Amino acid sequence: MEQKNELFTIEGYTDEELFAHVDHSALESEKITAPRYSYWRSVFRVFFRKKINLVILGILALLLLFTYVYPALVDYDPFANLMDSTAKHLTPAQAFEKFGASIHWIFGAGASGQPTFDAVWFGARISLSLALICAAINMTIGVLLGAVWGFSKKFDIFMTEVYNIVANVPYTLLIAVLVLVISPSFWTMVFALTVTGWMAIAYFIRTQVIIIRDREYNLASRCLGTPITRIATKNILPFMTSVIVTMLATEIPSYISYETFLAFIGMGISDMSLGRLIGAAQSAMLTPGWGFEFWSPVLVTAVLTISLYVAGQNLGDASDPRTHM
């Protein structure tokens, strides 16, 4: 009794002031309460539980800052030193000596005397924008049509045949022809990468939808008369979130890869993207002293794609509700 008083009384207050009497309610006692659960809050809780994710997000933030903010702040003219033969293929030390120590020259100078550091970030802006736009378009169309594809049996028969045919047309050929037909600009490349790019995503989503569609709980839901749209949005979409996020994680780096590949084979866009930088500086790889102009775009691409990929994969893991326990 003595103990209880110590625990439950707060000095200066009486029991009457601290507690109010609540009547028994038959209706309230029927309600089942559960801990408050917010899906996205749980996702981020699980995501930030891993400390490595903070590091990767930090790297990613820095990269994005350089990719989008840095080019807006500096003046970059790749041909400013074109006529100066002593300004070409410089190591950072030589560039510092020639132009004075500044952030522009920490990767040295390239084949036309341009600061490699600036070239890399201007290139990264183009490559990353291309990847983000293509991923956004392909994911939107792919997920929406994939869902319809999975639900409608008639559409499935038709689309599967279309998919079998389109998957056999060499992708390189399709893109090359499109780039040749319409001039090789940024938006042409977006068009070329998205015109059939959504199909693989849609096919993947279709398979996932078919797996989940026929589960018992959805059968039960249908028996209870739930409309298809409600089943799609409430029963199936939550299941798909982690799949979609995981896919997004592989999609974005894959467009950067693809752009690099196309630039390497000489079918890339006319802008100086990361891929074209790598392709153009390829011959400098094994030349002593010229390594910087080749390795810096390769490394920036690698760090960019790896951090995007890992962050996306971990977000995908975190968005699976089964990890929220």
Q: Which of 246, 216, 268, 256 is nearest to 315 (CA)?
A: 246
Rg (CA), the chain: 28
279 binds other proteins (CB under 8 A): yes
Question: Please, what sign has the CA dihedral across residues 277, 280, 282, 285?
Answer: negative
Cα separation, 291 vs 73, whole angstroms: 27
For the chain, the distance separating the N- and C-terminal CA atoms, rounded to the nearest angstrom, is 39
Least distance (Å) from other proteins to the CB of residue 254? 9
Residue 280 beta carbon to other proteins: minimum distance, rounded to whole angstroms: 12
Contact indicator for 92, 295 with CB cutoff of 8 Å = no
Regarding 269 and contact with other proteins (CB under 8 A), the answer is: no
Residue 180 touching other proteins (CB under 8 A): yes
* C-beta closer to other proteins: residue 76 or 171: 171
Q: Which residue, 105 or 107, is less far from other proteins as judged by CB?
A: 107
Tokens 């798909």 belong to which residue? 240
Contact residues for 293 (Cβ-Cβ < 8 A; gap 6+): 89, 107, 108, 109, 110, 111, 116, 281, 284
| Packing angle, helices 197-213 and 237-264, rounded to 10 | 160
Q: Which residue lies nearer to other proteins by CB, 18 or 177? A: 177
Check binding of 28 to other proteins (CB under 8 A).
no
Residue 109 bridge partners (DSSP) = 90, 115
Closer residue to other proteins, CB minimum distance, 152 or 282: 282
Select the residue interacting with other proteins from 102, 233, 282, 283 (CB under 8 A).
282
Which residues between 284 and 323 bind other proteins (CB under 8 A)? 285-286, 294, 298, 301-302, 305-306, 308-310, 313
Nearer to other proteins, 83 or 181 (CB): 181
Q: Is 260 in the site for other proteins (CB under 8 A)?
A: yes
| 250 touches other proteins (CB under 8 A) | yes
What single DSSP character describes residue 265? Answer: T
Burial class (CB in 10 A: 0-12, 13-18, 19+), 169: exposed
**Contact residues for other proteins, defined by CB under 8 A:** 161, 164-165, 167-170, 172-174, 176-177, 180-181, 250, 253, 256-257, 260-261, 264-267, 275, 278-279, 282, 285-286, 294, 298, 301-302, 305-306, 308-310, 313
